[in-house]
Amino acid sequence: MDLFADNQNPGGEQRAPEDKTGGEPLAARMRPQTLEDVAGQEHLLAPGKLLRRAIEADRLGSIILYGPPGCGKTSLAEVIAKVTQRNFVRTSGVLANVATLRTLLQAARQTRQAYGRETILFIDEIHRFNKAQQDVLLPYVEDGSITLVGATTHNPFFFINTPLTSRSQIFELEALSEKAVVTLLRRALERDREMTARNASADDDALEHLARVCEGDARRALNALEIAVLTTPPDAAGRVRVTRAAAEESIQKKAVVYDHDEDGHYDTISAFIKSVRGSDPNAAVYWLAKMLYAGEDPRFIARRLIILASEDIGNADPRAVTLAVSVLNAVEFVGMPEARIALAQCTTYLATAPKSNAAYMAGEAAMTDVKEGRTLPVPRPLRGATYKGAEQLGHTGYKYAHDYEEGFVDQEYAPTTKIYYSPTDRGYEETIRKRIEHWNSLRSKSRKRQS
């Protein structure tokens, strides 16, 4: 590669061609040309944000763009190439070895010395560079010979050398929202020459399906739209109309009836909860699979499992709530798609666990009495006895349970005889029930002796 082939174009800058050809996929043809064209990432690119100001003022320092596939890392780099007045060179962590890097870096240094022009070196998939390759970049980043723009789907603090990250600003891009993806799809239908030449359009539910199942990956959604347009025969008037059925085929994922804020959502989560409560693990995992397939937030499901574990299982299996809380942590830590494994484990465990709502009903009954009934006074022996004047106020007479046989003593803990908690004979609650019956027997004997 001769970076000095043309004095009118010092550095032989390699910018994305303005004249897009039909040989490129739709996702490549629709790369944004300006900052206004970049979809999403308002937290970085909204007017007044640091990254936008740096790009517009052409004062960009070395940066690393970190985010999931299809969120716009390469597209943003292309926009930087168009907006800034610097020489722009790109390579990839898959293609470039140390020798290639040295050639590019030395050429950039010569361009700066000969023409006073700075170079932006864009490295896609920079996490694929080994330590030696990353170390080659350091002196050139350090002396300003290049401005590094790296793109990675992997956490740069784990996959990129500390000396390199310390000399760069890390910007985390987010997966695109469904709304942003739909905007990109509509823009493609309206602006792309191939799409307009075919007089292509798409139903709203088709675009919404592509946006939903692409999981924030604009590249995947745009390429699926192109497949749908190219494989849909035109009607008698020569128009191509993409239906939801065509969208499902193009992205190889059918749509399920599951509106996230309407009946589909509420009916399915209701069926899931009732299947777990009804001890049917097969039905429960089916509804779980439907929710996950439709894109339900796995954290929402995990939270429902925690509630189920306490409400419908309770002390019949005290391990249930511990497992459910652990699964929520696993979902947060692992993320999808692997989080579905932990969710399925928890779902089947809870569905097959012994059931009891006795603890839940006890809490609800007590709460009702507190809200609607007279507030009961705390018995004097149970009141605080360590503060000044407690003894003069009569806060005495507390019996320390561990001083008595079996660690149990009969005394008044609340001025009521109402029974809130009545454990069942299912699971561990059978043990609890027998223990309470034994304590009640001890109470009865104690009160007979006192009488």
**Tens digits of residue pLDDT in 74-123:** 889 888 888 887 888 889 988 888 998 999 999 999 988 888 888 889 99
In this structure, what token pair is assigned to residue 93? 């962590």
Question: In terms of C-beta density within 10 A (0-12 exposed, 13-18 middle, 19 or more buried), how is residue 219 classed?
Answer: buried
Dist CA 119 CA 107 (whole Å): 9
Bridge partners (DSSP) of residue 123 are 91, 150
Instruction: Evaluate if residue 254 carries a pLDDT over 90.
Output: no
184, 39 Cβ separation under 8 angstroms: yes
pLDDT value at residue 82: 83
Architecture of domain 263-352: Up-down Bundle (1.20)
pLDDT digits (tens, 9 = 90+) for 342-385: 999 999 999 999 999 999 999 998 898 888 877 888 888 888 77
Dist CA 84 CA 100 (whole Å): 24
Lowest mean pLDDT among 159-173, 305-319, 348-362, 390-404: 390-404
- 107 closest CA partner among 97, 117, 96: 117
Residue indicated by tokens 């079996």: 406
pTM of structure: 0.53
Phi and psi at residue 172, in whole multiples of 5°? -95, 120
272, 284 Cβ separation under 8 angstroms: yes
Dist CA 56 CA 167 (whole Å): 21
Residue indicated by tokens 């939903």: 212
Q: Report the CATH number of the 178-251 domain.
A: 1.10.8.60
pLDDT digits (tens, 9 = 90+) for 134-184: 999 999 988 888 889 999 988 888 889 888 888 899 999 988 888 999 999
The domain limits of the chain are 26-172, 178-251, 263-352, 376-450
Instruction: Determine the number of helices (DSSP H) and then strands (DSSP E) in the chain.
Output: 20, 7
412 Ramachandran zone, left/alpha/beta (phi>0; psi -120 to 50): beta
- 211 closest CA partner among 226, 199, 224: 224
Architecture of domain 26-172: 3-Layer(aba) Sandwich (3.40)
Rg (CA), the chain: 33
CB atoms within 10 A of CB 362: 17
402, 387 Cβ separation under 8 angstroms: no
Q: What is the enclosing helix (H) or strand (E) of 269?
A: helix 263-277
For residues 141, 147, 149, 155, the Cα torsion angle rounded to the nearest 10 degrees is: 30
pLDDT value at residue 19: 41
The DSSP code for 375 is: P
Q: SS3 of 171, please?
A: strand
From residue 431, give the alpha-carbon distance in Å to each of 316, 436, 437, 438, 445. Answer: 9, 9, 10, 11, 21
Instruction: Evaluate if residue 21 carries a pLDDT over 70.
Output: no
Question: In terms of C-beta density within 10 A (0-12 exposed, 13-18 middle, 19 or more buried), how is residue 148 classed?
Answer: buried
Q: Report the CATH number of the 376-450 domain.
A: 1.10.3710
CB atoms within 10 A of CB 121: 24
105, 136 Cβ separation under 8 angstroms: yes
In this structure, what token pair is assigned to residue 147? 């401005």
Task: Give the residue, 5 or 292, on which the prediction is more confident.
Answer: 292
295, 211 Cβ separation under 8 angstroms: no
Q: Where residue 17 falls among pLDDT bands split at 50, 70, 90?
A: very low
Instruction: Evaluate if residue 297 carries a pLDDT over 50.
Output: yes
